[in-house]
Amino acid sequence: GENVEQHPSTLSVQEGDSAVIKCTYSDSASNYFPWYKQELGKRPQLIIDIRSNVGEKKDQRIAVTLNKTAKHFSLHITETQPEDSAVYFCAAKEVWGSARQLTFGSGTQLTVLP
Amino acid sequence: DGGITQSPKYLFRKEGQNVTLSCEQNLNHDAMYWYRQDPGQGLRLIYYSQIVNDFQKGDIAEGYSVSREKKESFPLTVTSAQKNPTAFYLCASSIGTTGETEAFFGQGTRLTVV
């Protein structure tokens, strides 16, 4: 089955700096890669996703890049703000195949220091 | 507030007792999922259901059981066979299991074995 590894497990940045979280996946059949954000005491929520036929996707201050050959994808947050502090999870999925469940990474605790 | 509701928020159980966690959704979603969240281990899939009266084991199904008698409801029973049940449990739903479908999560239930 799919295995998703996520690094780092914790990340502290100064407000206004950029943050990068990286994930690698094992199953070359995976073709959908969402990112979820879980604020303290709240439920995980989808913040951005990318398909395997796209190399990069951007939404305001957040962007995701995908390298299919290397089987890794990354979340980039620019101009970080205190409200970006949360746990971020990457995930991978084969959209139309038999293994159609999301496999999550282990999470990254991002702390934005004022 | 429509969406997916888990209850209770906190649950205490004595060793050797079974306990059932509730999950209800009013999103008309076909697919529902149960995840276990432990520090540093991300979200691990326990069971999922693609349609009423059908469910499949996830990666860590041992010691758990589910039912899907109604589209809106997907209760999880943590049995006495689960060796380490203390954890945070998240229920989720999506339109289906195929496609790039977003998973909507409940607020979670924190189970503590005392």
- Residue B98 pLDDT > 90, yes or no? no
Alpha carbons A36 and B104: distance in angstroms, whole number? 10
Question: DSSP characters for A66-96?
Answer: EETTTTEEEEEE-S--GGG-EEEEEEEB-SS
pLDDT of residue A45: 95
Distances (CA, A) of B106 to A58, B22, B55, B96: 27, 10, 19, 17
For the stretch B18-34, pLDDT in tens is 999 999 999 999 999 99
pLDDT of residue A108: 97
List chain A residues with pLDDT less than 70.
Answer: 97-100
Contact (CB<8Å) A6/B42: yes
Question: pLDDT averaged over chain B?
Answer: 92
pLDDT of residue A77: 98
Res. B56 pLDDT band, cuts 50 70 90: very high
pLDDT of residue B19: 95
Please name the residues between 36 and 55 in chain A that touch chain B, using a CB distance below 8 Å: 36, 42-46, 49, 51
Alpha carbons A99 and B98: distance in angstroms, whole number? 9
Tokens of A8: 């780092």
pLDDT of residue B2: 64
- Residue B1 pLDDT > 60, yes or no? no
Please list every residue in chain A whose beta carbon sits closer than 8 Å to the beta carbon of residue B103.
Answer: 34, 36, 44, 46, 102
Describe chain B by its helix, strand, coil percentages, rounded to 5: 0, 50, 50
Tell me, what DSSP letter sits at residue B20?
E
Tokens of B25: 């959704």
pLDDT of residue B89: 97
pLDDT of residue A99: 58
pLDDT of residue A98: 61
- Residue B99 pLDDT > 80, yes or no? no
Please list every residue in chain B whose beta carbon sits closer than 8 Å to the beta carbon of residue A103.
Answer: 45
Res. B74 pLDDT band, cuts 50 70 90: very high
Burial class (CB in 10 A: 0-12, 13-18, 19+), A53: exposed
Res. B55 pLDDT band, cuts 50 70 90: very high
- Residue recorded with tokens 């496609």: B99
For residue A84, report the phi and psi dihedrals to the nearest 5 degrees.
-80, -10
Alpha carbons A45 and A36: distance in angstroms, whole number? 5
Alpha carbons B108 and B88: distance in angstroms, whole number? 7
